[in-house]
Amino acid sequence: MSHSGSSLIKISKQRASTLEFFLRVTALLLSMIAMTGCGYDSKMKSTMMEFDEGKFSSAATQIAPLMAEYSLQDSDGDGKSDAPINGVVFYLDGGTIQQAAAQYPASVATYESVWNEISPYLDEKAETKVTEEVAAALTNQTIRTYRGTGVDRIMLNTYQSLNYFALGQQEKAAVELRRAQNWQTDFVEKNQSQIEKETKAFEESGKKNGYDANKTLDDPGFQAVINANYGTLREMRGYSNYEIPYSTYLRAVNRFATGQFEQARTTFKRVAEMLPAPVNEEALKDVDMAGNAANGQTPAQCVFVFVEAGRAPSLKELRLDIPLFIAQVPYVGAAFPLLEMRNEPSVTGFTVSAADVVTNAALLTDMDAVVAQDFNARLPGIIIATLVSSASKAAATYGLQQGMGNWGSIIGAVYQVAANSADLRCWLTLPKRVLWCRVNRPESGVISITMSDGKTIGPVPIPSAPVTVIRVRTVNAGTDPAVMTFAIANSG
């Protein structure tokens, strides 16, 4: 890509008077733009239609050829170091869809491929590459390898733990929950410094080419437009230290089920600290339960029910005319990603009936807020990168016009339009919210779950075990949910 970019600069300094040369240059530009993104939302459209209707097996069939096209594996099944730039995002959604379709071994393999790609970033590997940044400046942000956001990384290992629990491999599930915790710690320690580093690199890149992004950022008109489009989003708050209560709570449940009562008490308490009143009162009951067990009281066998409902925000494109404060090119069009909340009807609550006791669910995690918090942290860097990229393309277009006259103007117009697109890649199949409740296992050994949309799950047989977990995935009201049930016992 950087080679194509340098070719463009050279061409902009040449004069051409033949149609043949024009066609060659246009072909070069189109081939270059073809490499700058996969149109993720459009490629996933048919798959997501099936997923939204609760047809999880059909959705798994739909996404299979896309995963093959953007494979993270070679023919021997070993991870490739030169994986396609879009492989991770296809595999994140692919693994989630396979899991919802109860294809747990396949989901394990898919998530493991993602882990192999992104795990080096947990310790030593640099998050960005200079060659990618140069290419992104000349095209758009979709040329950058998708390495997963902080939320992606935490949820990757959280979901992988659910796969292993479903397969009865508790030790591997515990490893995944620790990995999720490590990502969260890494997120807190590195996120802000990484964002600042990338933002500074883009600022310096712009200045080297005669563009000062801060002038655009300080422009009152630009500020007004940005505030109008991102103001409400910026007000959304997630949880402290970018933590995801769902992931932390699952870790507490596993510790409680395996007899690590004091550690479970501490982890349940952490969840209670994240949740607002009065929801945190339910988590505080878990703190007391684990504390009593740590003090020698034999805990009752219990059932934890989690319902993942709806779909998390997706990205749409926001096109703006931005001031560059460059004499030759005062204004240019730019495309920014904008987080869009999904307002489709979905399950907003549920009740669990155990014998004669009916228990209401509470909100454990607002994934809209979690995703928005992550996006807001990255937004300043995204804006800077988009501004510098737009300025670079505008300068290249001006060079083409000066060097090639009318042909240059035409080629420049093709280049500007084709390259002016935002990076809309994101994990589409994450839930909008996670609801939960805990009940004691009834003597009858069965419970029933009634969703707010009227769907009933059960009677569900509950095994005799310290802890049973029921995880329900529902997307839209009235559709059939996916149900995963597993027991956790102290293997020691």
CA–CA distance, 169 with 108 (Å, rounded to integer): 12
Amino acid at 45: K
User: Which residues in the chain land under pLDDT 70?
Assistant: 1-38, 74-83, 124-142, 209, 326-331, 344-345, 394-420, 491-492
Cis peptide before 459 (omega within 30 of 0): yes
Q: Which helix (H) or strand (E) holds 333?
A: strand 331-340
- Token pair, residue 418, equals 């084709």
Residue 10 is predicted with a pLDDT of 42
> How far, in Å, CA of 175 to CA of 172, rounded?
5
pLDDT of residue 347: 87
Sheet of strand 467-474, all strands in order from the earlier edge strand to the far edge: 362-366, 433-440, 302-309, 467-474, 482-488
Per DSSP, the three-state class of 302 is strand
Sign of CA dihedral 262, 264, 268, 273: positive
Helices and strands: H and E segment counts in the chain: 16, 11
pTM value is 0.86
- The pair of three-digit structure tokens given for residue 53, joined into one six-digit string: 């209707």
> What are the C-alpha distances in Å from 375 to residues 140, 272, 492?
18, 24, 42
pLDDT in tens, 337-373: 999 998 766 789 999 999 889 999 999 999 999 999 9
Q: Map residue 486 onto helix, strand or coil.
A: strand
At 2 the pLDDT is: 39
Residue with tokens 């042909």: 407
pLDDT reported for residue 144: 79
Separation between Cα atoms, residue 58 and residue 37, nearest integer Å: 26
